[in-house]
Every structure is written in structure tokens, then in C-alpha cells.
């Protein structure tokens, strides 16, 4: 019986879901990284009405056999992610941002941990791309933010389908949908951390308004840390790209 259960969990399928909006610069790198993984069954890109070449890039990408593109009606990351789960066939949902690149072994680690019924989901260690002082600082910051219990989408959250459906998935927030979702997910069981890197492009703060953007971002994170619900902050939070 135990052997049967282990075999069933080994053959669990992972559906990768990626929300996009004007991500022509980064989406191809993400798809290329995913094409090298052996333990994912499908990749679903949900586009929020991009006006650049994001759609063209995804449509012309041939290295992933089971690649689906959903053209959504608006750029709302929470809605996009939830829409992606409706098209997914896997028992595990893996939510990855455009511009994030997992390494070999990531899918295998997810499957190994999800064998245990008490595990409802988890995430990865974030490394920001580049050797700049800014990239090193953000990498250090995100590693320390993990101790606060707040989980961000950049960390490539994964979840058991069964649990996702029980908590009714992502809320229709354009931002902070990740924090809200992870908080509810963690209440349902064991949330694990995989110490493999997810390399993230540094485009969120990689511009001339870095200081202004970072101050604004930090302000909202501070409100989160003191307990202000993400659903309230999402109404006033301007997404930083």
C-alpha cells in the first residue's frame, strides 16, 4: 500500500502557470529555462492584453510541447493566475513570474515533497540577476524577508490543486495577490521552502527611479508586516514594474 501511494505521488503532474503583461523582454528566458526541466507536464501563459511582442513570442515558441496561451481581457495578475488554474490539468500548480528562471531539479524537488499529504505547497530561494550592488541587495533582502512569514510571487509558489480549490485560489487583486494567497495557503498545512534558486530579472527596480520605487514598495511592505490585509492594500498599491 505504501509503495502504491509513493508511485501515485511520483506520477503527479505539475502545471506551470505564468501571468504576463508586456513581458517581451523576459518571457522567452523563462520559457527556455522551463523547457530544460523534466518534471513539468504543461506550461500555461495567461496574458493580460499585452501591447508589445509578448503574445508573438509565446505563440512562436516551439521548445515546449504542452504550451498553452490564454488571452485574458485585462492585466490583473490575481485573475490571470486563477484563470490559468481553470485550464490546468496537473495535481500541482506552480506559479512563476515572467522573468523568473528555475534550475534543473526544481520539479523533482516539488514532487518529492508533495508526496507528504501534510504539505500543501511551498516556494524557492530567490536570486536577483546580475552582479550589481542593487541585485546583491535585493537578493539579501528577499532571503531575510522569508523570516517574516510573508511570501511573494517572485519565490515561485507551488500548491496542491486540492488545497488551492478548498481556499478558492487567488483573489482578483491586480497586486499583492501572492501575499494574500500564500497566507491562506499556509493556514491549511505545511508550507515548505526549497533551497534551490529561482533567478529573477531585476526589472522591477532597474530604472532611474529606483529609490522612489523602492521607498514606495517598502512602505507597503511595512503595512503588510504590521498586519494590514493585502486585500485593502491592493486597492491603493501601484504595481512597480
- The reply to whether 234 falls in a domain is no
- The reply to whether 47 falls in a domain is yes
Query: Residue 221 pLDDT more than 70?
Result: no
Query: Looking at residues 16-36, what average pLDDT do you find?
Result: 96
Number of domains in the chain: 1
The 3-class SS string of the chain reads CHHHHHHHHHCCCEEEEEEECCCCCCHHHHHHHHHCCCCCCEEEEEECCCCCCHHHHHHCCCCCCCEEEEECCCCCHHHHHHHHHHHCCCCEEEECCCCEECCCCHHHHHHHHCCCCCEEEEEEEEEECCCCHHHHHHHHHHHHHHHHCCCCHHHCCEEEHHHHHHCCCCCCCCCCHHHHHHHHHHCCCEEEEEEEEEEECCCCCCCCCHHHHHHHHHHHHHHHHCCCCHHHHCCCCCCCC
Residue-level pLDDT at 241: 39
**100 neighbors 199 (Cβ within 8 angstroms):** yes
Residue-level pLDDT at 150: 83
Query: Residue 239 pLDDT more than 50?
Result: no
Distance, C-alpha 230 to centroid of its chain: 17
**18: domain range?**
2-206
- Mean pLDDT score across all residues of the chain: 87
- The reply to whether 232 falls in a domain is no
Residue-level pLDDT at 142: 84
- The reply to whether 39 falls in a domain is yes
What CATH code is carried by the domain that includes residue 60?
A: 3.90.550.10
Residue-level pLDDT at 176: 83
- The reply to whether 170 falls in a domain is yes
**189 neighbors 177 (Cβ within 8 angstroms):** no
State the Cα–Cα distance between residues 217 and 141, nearest whole angstrom: 13
The model's confidence at residue 65, banded by pLDDT at 50, 70 and 90, is: very high
The model's confidence at residue 68, banded by pLDDT at 50, 70 and 90, is: very high
Most confident of the following: 117-126, 137-146, 231-240: 117-126
- The reply to whether 176 falls in a domain is yes
Residue-level pLDDT at 3: 45
The model's confidence at residue 203, banded by pLDDT at 50, 70 and 90, is: low
Nearest to 25 by CA among 157, 213, 202, 240: 202
State the Cα–Cα distance between residues 208 and 203, nearest whole angstrom: 11
The model's confidence at residue 231, banded by pLDDT at 50, 70 and 90, is: low
- The reply to whether 57 falls in a domain is yes
State the Cα–Cα distance between residues 95 and 53, nearest whole angstrom: 22
Report the percentage of the chain scoring pLDDT > 70. Answer: 83
- The reply to whether 148 falls in a domain is yes
Query: Looking at residues 97-120, what average pLDDT do you find?
Result: 97
Amino acid at each position: 500500500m505504501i509503495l502504491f501511494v509513493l508511485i501515485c505521488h511520483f506520477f503527479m503532474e505539475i502545471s506551470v502557470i505564468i501571468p504576463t503583461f508586456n513581458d517581451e523582454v523576459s518571457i522567452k528566458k523563462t520559457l527556455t529555462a522551463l523547457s530544460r526541466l523534466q518534471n513539468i507536464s504543461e506550461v500555461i501563459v495567461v496574458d493580460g492584453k499585452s501591447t508589445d511582442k509578448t503574445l508573438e513570442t509565446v505563440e512562436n515558441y516551439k521548445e515546449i510541447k504542452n504550451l498553452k496561451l490564454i488571452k485574458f481581457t485585462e492585466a490583473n495578475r490575481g485573475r490571470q493566475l486563477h484563470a490559468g488554474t481553470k485550464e490546468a490539468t496537473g495535481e500541482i500548480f506552480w506559479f512563476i513570474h515572467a522573468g523568473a528562471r528555475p534550475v534543473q531539479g526544481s520539479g523533482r524537488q516539488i514532487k518529492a515533497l508533495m508526496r507528504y499529504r501534510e504539505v500543501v505547497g511551498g516556494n524557492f530561494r530567490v536570486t536577483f540577476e546580475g552582479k550589481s550592488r542593487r541585485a546583491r541587495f535585493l537578493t539579501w533582502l528577499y532571503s531575510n524577508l522569508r523570516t517574516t512569514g510573508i511570501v511573494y510571487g517572485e519565490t515561485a509558489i507551488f500548491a496542491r490543486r486540492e488545497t488551492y480549490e478548498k481556499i478558492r485560489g487567488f483573489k482578483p487583486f491586480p497586486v499583492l495577490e501572492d501575499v494574500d494567497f500564500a497566507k491562506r495557503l499556509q493556514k491549511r498545512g505545511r508550507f515548505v521552502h526549497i533551497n534551490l534558486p529561482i533567478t529573477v530579472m531585476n526589472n522591477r527596480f532597474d530604472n532611474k527611479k529606483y529609490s522612489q520605487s523602492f521607498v514606495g514598495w517598502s512602505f507597503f511592505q511595512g503595512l503588510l508586516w504590521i498586519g494590514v490585509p493585502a486585500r485593502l492594500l491592493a486597492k491603493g498599491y501601484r504595481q512597480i514594474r
